[in-house]
A = this chain, B = another copy of it.
Amino acid sequence: MLSRGIILKSRPEGTPKPDNFAVEETGLPSLQDGEVLVRNLCMSVDPYMRGRMMDVRSYVPPFQVGKLLEGGAIGEVVESNDSQYKPGDHVESMLGWREAFVSPAGALRKLEKLQQPPSAYLGVLGMPGMTAYAGLLEVGALKEGETVFVSAAAGAVGSLVGQIALQKKCRVIGSAGGPAKTRHLTEELGFHHAIDYRKGDLLKQLREVSGEGLDVYFDNVGGDHLEAAIFCMRPGGRIPLCGMISQYNAIEPPPGPKNLIMAVGMSLTLRGFIVTNFEHLRADFLRDMGTWIESGRV
């Protein structure tokens, strides 16, 4: 059986270009004991993938030049040599960027009868949902009624952060680029305030809506947003560091926030996290998020 996939042809410098990638068709091996043949149905393209294109030490190994890219995907079992899987089962894997693959069963997670379309298990019920849930509630230790600011708020993770915070009766401020996105935040998702960072002077805009100050800033972008948020935090505020999109394409890393010293006097906590360390929350996450989706609140 043949499968087409996308390989990393060369490591991008700055913004990735099409010729950093190539399509490659390969034959799949026949199944060994304990292996499963999966045809992918959908896959996710996530900001962290930019990091894996660089040859640096991080929490996941870098993509290798000449090899297929990887990433979260939902697929359907076509053939199985493992007793846990049968044709038609839906599975989640990190083997996206390819039409089909053969894998040991241990590298797959089975999705028991789907309640939502497969792509939901890459979004609201998948890694972005889990990231928002764990980052906001566990890393950010959110309490009911607090004030929350989230950047990249129209993105997969950010929009869920805001919606979870709304379930917790919090005041929610989001930032995004452009009026279409900010309108989406306030008019469709119910955020209390939306900031269009392209309008300039992010700090001034944030100060105008942050009232008594921010209890939690969920940071997806770093850079100016992190600095502005630090200026607006309340004593004891928490800043889950989820990603720094503003820097992913940077060739020279930009300086950090010049006001980090305020973390001392204001007793702020900045805590980086990666969602794979929070598997212990998965059952809670699926229960809560399932309830919120069913009730139409997320």
Binding site for B on A (CB under 8 A): 51, 58-59, 222, 226-227, 235, 241-244, 247, 253-274, 277
Contacts and interface: CB of A to CB of B under 8 A. Distances in A.
A222 B260 contact: yes
B272 A271 contact: no
B241 A263 contact: yes
Given A235-B59, A270-B270, A270-B271, A260 B265 contact: no
A277 B267 contact: yes
20 contacts: A58-B266, A59-B235, A241-B260, A243-B264, A244-B264, A247-B261, A253-B259, A253-B261, A254-B258, A256-B258, A256-B259, A257-B260, A260-B270, A264-B272, A265-B272, A267-B272, A267-B274, A269-B269, A269-B270, A269-B272
B241 A264 contact: yes
B253 A258 contact: yes
Nearest to A230: B256
Contacts of A257: 256, 260
Contacts of A271: 263, 267-271
Nearest to A257: B256
A261 B272 CA distance: 8
A8 B130 CA distance: 53
Contacts of A277: 267
Contacts of A266: 58-59, 272
Contacts of A247: 261
